[in-house]
């Protein structure tokens, strides 16, 4: 069994896709990591299907230095709000600057476009983001899970088993020199 002994930040806000937060959260904690929810503000956030999660840190106070990896759940409303929050964008970008693993699923890739970290990277997402990612300089592919130098991406909740397995693998490997901003 994997023992990650790592600290993993999850960045989300209201409207996240419930399973895209809860499933990776359960996977990384079962593998020995501690999980921390970072959000732009508030005491708790609510998913589009009603799951409520306590916020541990705000994006303005969270530091990538304190974590070994980042997970960006999807959900249209969640991702759209995060990509407009400068603190959330800076927090996400810092993981790339520090060469740390990042997992992103569904619409979560929007924040990576705003953070300017997808150029020359290969990833997947919910299909409606394909043009956005290509316009930002990424190579978009329609695959269950894609790993590119510590960046793990998947399309939908159907891909969560493969996403979680690769996410744990990449966190276990640690920093990746090719994971850059």
- Sign of the torsion angle spanned by Cα atoms 19, 6, 53, 40: negative
Task: Indicate if 107 belongs to the active site.
Answer: yes
90: tokens are 């800076």
Q: Is 52 helix (H, G, I), strand (E, B) or coil?
A: strand
Q: What Cα–Cα distance (Å) separates residue 53 from each residue in 9, 16, 46?
A: 13, 11, 6
Task: Indicate if 99 belongs to the active site.
Answer: no
User: Under a CB-based contact definition with an 8 Å cutoff, are residues 159 and 109 in contact?
Assistant: no
- Sign of the torsion angle spanned by Cα atoms 118, 119, 123, 128: positive
Select which of 51, 81, 107, 176 is catalytic: 107
Please state, in angstroms and rounded to a whole number, the distance separating the CA atoms of residues 113 and 140.
13
Residue listed under structure tokens 């994006």: 59
CA nearest to 129, candidates 120, 116, 142: 142
Select which of 51, 99, 106, 176 is catalytic: 106
What are the residues facing 38 on neighbouring strands? 11, 57
Residues noted as catalytic? 106-107
């Amino acid at each position: 069994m994997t023992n990650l002994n790592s600290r993993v930040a999850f960045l989300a806000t209201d409207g996240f896709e419930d399973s895209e937060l809860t499933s990776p959260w359960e996977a990384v904690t079962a593998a020995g990591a501690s999980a921390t929810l970072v959000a732009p503000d508030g005491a708790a956030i609510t998913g589009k299907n009603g799951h409520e999660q306590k916020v541990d840190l705000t994006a303005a106070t969270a530091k990538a230095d304190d974590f070994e990896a980042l997970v960006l759940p999807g959900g249209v409303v969640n991702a759209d709000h995060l990509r407009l929050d400068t603190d959330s964008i800076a927090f996400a970008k810092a993981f790339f600057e520090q060469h740390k693993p990042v997992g992103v699923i569904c619409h979560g890739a929007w924040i990576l476009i705003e953070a300017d970290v997808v150029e020359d990277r290969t990833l997947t997402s919910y299909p409606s983001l394909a043009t956005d990612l290509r316009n930002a300089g990424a190579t978009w592919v329609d695959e269950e899970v894609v790993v590119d130098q510590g960046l793990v991406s998947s399309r939908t909740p159907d891909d969560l088993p493969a996403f979680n397995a690769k996410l744990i693998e990449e966190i276990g490997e640690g920093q990746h020199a090719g994971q850059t901003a």
